Amino acid sequence: MPIHKLAEGPITMTVASVESKEGNFGPQWKFASNEGIDVYVNELPASKQLARLNHTPESIVGQTIHMEQVKKNGTTFTNITLASGGAVSTPRPAAAAAPVAAAPKASVADLAVIYGECVAYAMATLGAKCEEAGLPIDAAAIQAAAATLFIKATR
């Protein structure tokens, strides 16, 4: 079976099987596609990525995933995400990337409503839990919790 190396580019594939293998660089997982292409990923980053997706090597079988390597600050990371579709796709060197449309901007009034909801949830969760535990709570803690919720909600 052909082997696709993530260093050569990303791949989207439907997983036929995942099995543990001992490779030149330690324990690896071999992701085999329905189309007969294998991708080897070091066990630790692969297990972390699958856990982030709430999957195991057994439960990811039949799912379509996108795998790629990303370089950040001189370190290479392996990313695995769920994808749609079912065919193996690898990048074509001559293909130009399609432009990404910018998300419409929310108005300040809309953002204020969302932030207000985040503050209410932060007070109801963090504030209530701290009060139950007898821990002091201040506005800065509520603001930080609300900001965390707001950032996640608006991305």
Instruction: Write the pLDDT tens digit of every residue in 36-64.
Output: 899 999 999 999 999 999 999 999 999 99
Give the Cβ contact number of residue 31 at 10 Å: 25
The CA–CA distances, whole Å, from 52 to 29, 86, 118, 128 equal 16, 21, 24, 28
More confident residue, 94 or 84: 84
Residues 6+ apart with CB under 8 A from 138: none
Residues 95-137 have pLDDT tens digits of: 444 455 555 677 888 888 888 888 888 888 887 888 888 888 8
Structure letter (DSSP) for residue 152: H
The pLDDT value given to residue 95: 45
